[in-house]
Amino acid sequence: MLERLNRWLDVRLGHRRWWGAWRARTLPASPSWWLTSGSLVFWLLVIEVATGLLLMASYSPSLATAWPSVSYIERTAAGSFLRGVHYYTAQALIVALLVHLIRVVACGIFRAPRELIWVTGLLSLPLVLTWAMTGNPLSGSQQGLAQVAVEAQIVGSTPGVGPTLSRLLLGGEDVGHLTLVRLYFLHVAVVPLAAAALLALHISQVLRHGLAPRENNQQPSAPVPYWPYQSVRNMTVLALVVGIIALLAWRYGAPLGAPADPDLPHHPRPEWYFRALFELRRHFTGEQELIATLLIPTAVLLIFLTFPLWDGLFGRRTASLLRTSTLLAGLAGWGWLTGMSYHRDLYDGEYQASRKQDRIWAERARALAARGVPPTGPAELLRNDPQTQGPLLFARHCATCHPWLDKHGQGLAASEASAPNLYGFGSRQWIEGLLDPERIASDHYFGRTAFAEGEMVSAVQELAAGLEGDELSARRKQLRLAAEALAAEARPPEAPPEARRAAAGRVLIAGELGCTGCHRFHSEGELGTAPDLTGYGSRSWLVAFISDPRHDRFYGERNDRMPAFAPGPDDARNLLSQRELALLADWLISQQAAPSDTPRPTPAAAPQLTSR
C-alpha cells in the first residue's frame, strides 16, 4: 500500500532519483570527524531559523514594545528556553563556521574548480556576524541599543556613503522606533534571504564538485558511501553541540538587560565576537580609526579570499605554508585582541561596578514588568521605581552633604560629608541614635552641622546630665520609648506591645521629656521654633521637608545649609520635580522598614542626571 503510494508519488515528483543520488554520495577517503563541520553549520542554521520563527510569533519591534514583548516571552519556561536556544545557537554557529573555514583551508578545498565553494563559505562569515549584530539589539535592552547607537556612528564615519547608510539603518538621525523595525527587517528578512542564496550556491557547488580529495592520498580502493558512515558522525557532533546549547539555555537562558533608558549610566561593550575590533580601535585615533574599522577587516577578508590564487603565485608548497601561517596568525591576532579587551575590563573597577549595577536594574525591571508594562514604554518601569530612582536622586542631590552608609560603611558616601547620615532615617534605630545623649553630637547626626552646639543637642544631653545608675537607665528607656513613638508617626506599629510602647512614648514627648517645649507634636507645642514632629518621617512630612526646610513648619530662619528643593508649585523652577520628590521620599521610607536588606547602590553607579 505504502509502496504503491510511494510509486505514484515518484512518477509525479521523481523524488526517488534525488534521494538515490543523495544516498549514493561517496567519500573521497574514509569517514572523518573533521568532515562534520559543514553539516554542523547547516543544522545550526536550521535551528536558528526554526527558533527565530517561533519567537516571531510573540515579538513586536518598536521602542515601546520590544523589551516588553521579550520579557513576556521570558516569563514562560518554554519561551525562555527557546530564546536561550536561539541565543546560544547563534554563538555556536559563529564558532562552527570558524572551525569549518579552518578545516576547508587545511584540506585545500579552494583549488580549481572549487574556488566558489571557498568564496561563498568565507563570505558567509561577515554575513552571519551581521545577522547576529542585527539580532542583539532587538531585545530593546540598554546594552543592545547602546551597541546600535555606537555601531551606527561607526558606519556613519565611513567617508561617502557612511552617513546615508547610518540614517537608513537607524531609520532617522538617532535611535528610535524605526531603528528596531529596520534591524528586525534586516534580521528576519534581508540577511536570511542573502544567507539562503549564499548557502544554496555553496551547497550546490559542493554537490557538483564533490568533496575534495585529500592531498597526497591515493583514492581508496572501494569508495565509502557517505550515508550512513559519515552521516552518523555528523549527527553525533550535532547532538553533542545541541546538548550543550540546551543545557546553557535551560540553566542560564539568554540575558535580558534593563530596558534602554539614556538616563541610566551605562558602559556599552560589543559582543565577544566583536571585542577584537573594539580593542583594535583603541590603537587608532581620529581619522585613522577608519583603518581599524574598515581597512584592516576588509584587507583581512580580501587576503583570505585570494587563497585560491596563491598556488599559482608562490607554487603549491610555499602557498600551502603561507596559507597555514596566515590563518594561524589571523586567529592568534584575533584571540590576542579579544583577550586584551576582556583583561582590561576585568581590572577596570568602574566598569565592573557598572556591570553589577546593570544586573541589579535588569532584575528589578523584570520583576516590575511581571505586573505589566505601561503603554508609554518599558523605560517607565525604572523611571517610576523608588527603589531604582531613590539612590540615584540621593546621590545626585543629597549625597554632597548627607552620607547614606550602613554600619559596614557600605552605601553612598558623601563627597563633603557635613550633615547627618540618613541611612535608615526615620526608623526606630535611627531616632534612638538621635536621642542618645552620647551620639547626637557625633558626626553621624548633628556633629558637622550648625546644630552641633544648638538647642536640640544641649536639650538631649541635659536630659542625661548628672544622672547615674538606675536613674540614667530609666531616662534612656524613656528616650527609647520616645524614639518608638516618633518612628510610629511614619509607620503605625502592628503588634500591640509596640503600639503600647509608642503610646507611652507619645505621653513622654509631650510631658516629661519636654520635647514640645520647642517642637510641635499633634495638638501640643508651637510651630516656628523647631521642626514639626507630627507625622515625623512619613511621606508627606518628608516631601514637605525636602521641598522647603526653611518653612516655618521646620527649621525656619535657623535652617543650616540645606537647600529648598521645591519651594514653589512650578516644577520647571524647582530643583526637584514633584515626581522626583515622591520617588525620593518613597525610597527613604522603604529604608525605614528594613534598612539592612535592600540592594546597596554602588557609588560608581551614582549618576549625575536630572531632568527638568
The contact set with other proteins (CB under 8 A) reads: 63-64, 146, 149-150, 153-154, 156-157, 164, 167-168, 171-174, 176-178, 182, 262-263, 265-268, 281-283, 285-287, 289, 350-351, 354, 400, 415, 563, 572-573, 575, 604, 607-612
Cell digits for 199? 548557502
Cα–chain center distance at 63: 16
330 vs 568, beta carbon nearer other proteins: 568
CB 539 within 8 A of CB 520: no
Q: Which distant-in-sequence residues (6+ apart) come within 8 Å of 50 by Cβ?
A: none
Nearer to other proteins, 355 or 475 (CB): 355
Distance CA 65, CA 184 (A): 13
Nearer to other proteins, 113 or 286 (CB): 286
Kindly state the smallest distance separating residue 182's Cβ from other proteins, in Å: 8
For other proteins, the closer CB: 156 or 454? 156
Return d(Cα 533, Cα 528) in angstroms, integer: 12
Least distance to other proteins from the beta carbon of 591, Å?
24
Nearer of residues 341 and 538 to other proteins, judged by Cβ: 341
Beta carbon nearer to other proteins, 146 or 441: 146
Task: Give the number of other Cβ atoms within 10 Å of residue 495's Cβ.
Answer: 8
Nearer to other proteins, 78 or 572 (CB): 572
User: Nearest approach, Cβ of 292 to other proteins (angstroms)?
Assistant: 11
> From CA 35, how far away is CA 217, in angstroms rounded?
16
- Please state the closest distance from residue 263 (CB atom) to other proteins, in A: 7
Q: Cα separation of 84 and 51, whole Å?
A: 9
The Cα–Cα gap between 550 and 286 comes to 52
Neighbours of 375 (CB within 10 A): 9
Q: How far is CA 73 from CA 57, 59, 142, in A?
A: 10, 8, 18
CB 177 → other proteins: shortest distance, Å?
Answer: 4
Minimum CB distance to other proteins, residue 190 (Å): 11
- Tell me the closest approach of the beta carbon of residue 155 to other proteins, in angstroms: 11
Strands 411-412, 224-225: pairing is unpaired
Look-up: residue for cell 509631650?
510
Instruction: Choose between 164 and 217: whose C-beta lies nearer to other proteins.
Output: 164
Sign (positive or negative) of CA dihedral 330, 331, 333, 337: positive
Tell me the C-alpha distance between 501 and 202, whole Å.
Answer: 83
Least separation in angstroms between residue 149's CB and other proteins is: 6
Contacts 24+ apart (CB under 8 A), 519-526: 520/553
Q: Which is nearer to other proteins, 156 or 255 (CB)?
A: 156
Tell me how far apart the alpha carbons of residues 376 and 378 are, in angstroms, rounded to a whole number: 7
